[in-house]
Amino acid sequence: MGGGGEVSRFICGYMACDPQLSQLFLGGLPSMLKVNVRTDVSNQWLEQTIRYSVDHADRSQPGSQAVLARLSEVLFIETLRRYIAALSPEQKGWLAGVRDPDIGKALALLHRKPAHPWTIASLANEVGLSRSSLTERFRQYLSESPMSYLIRWRLSLGAQLLQSTSNSVAQIAGEVGYESEPSFNRAFKRQFGLPPARFRSRSKSDRNQSVRQVSTHGRHVSK
């Protein structure tokens, strides 16, 4: 302390992700990622972006918070891109699958249009592979078939909608690709251990309890 020399500044922050929707890719990340911004000339924009964030972190100019939020998103995406590009050819998992041109296209289609009446034949046709090749390569990266993955993704979307909207169970079932409420109920219970209505009720109860705990803690601190 007080030893002289250049001053170093550390910037800390966080990004919030929906746990139901982000677990597919966040689960495949290591606990820490290190990005070297001094390795080549192409990284200069990344270094300048970080410097800009540091310089504007304490300013209260109109729109500054929105700019910093978008820059944070760009930095996170770029970090993910660099991590994916550096994965070994033998790597398995969602992020490795995204890097594969064909499997990445299949994943993008399933995520972009989850309610579409996909079949393995229609998905394979869109990707440009045979049904057997798509299934084999999809299993190679994600250890499950495309249709099994689609079911999990639809149910994750359903769980997120149950928590974030007041739409009926029947409406949500249709939004995520189920033709009937009973079939959605059965699949949802297999995945989450509770039928949709009880899942929504428990999630609401858990949120209310968390709010009460935060509120009580705040009162104790203020005293």
DSSP labels, 147-210: HHHHHHHHHHHHHHHHHH----HHHHHHHTT-SSHHHHHHHHHHHHSS-HHHHHHHHHHHHHHH
Domain spans, the chain:
29-85, 94-203
Q: Which CATH superfamily is domain 94-203 in?
A: Homeodomain-like (1.10.10.60)
Each of the 223 residues of the chain gets a pLDDT tens digit; together they read 566 788 777 777 777 777 777 777 777 777 888 777 777 666 777 777 777 777 766 666 677 777 777 878 888 888 888 888 888 888 888 989 999 999 999 999 999 999 999 999 999 999 999 999 999 999 999 999 999 999 999 999 999 999 999 999 999 999 999 999 999 999 999 999 999 999 999 988 877 676 566 556 555 555 5
Find out whether 98 and 84 touch, Cβ atoms under 8 Å. yes
Find out whether 128 and 143 touch, Cβ atoms under 8 Å. no
Output the CA torsion sign for 122, 126, 131, 134: negative
| CA atoms of 75 and 216, how far apart (whole Å) | 36
Structure-block tokens of residue 108:
């993008």
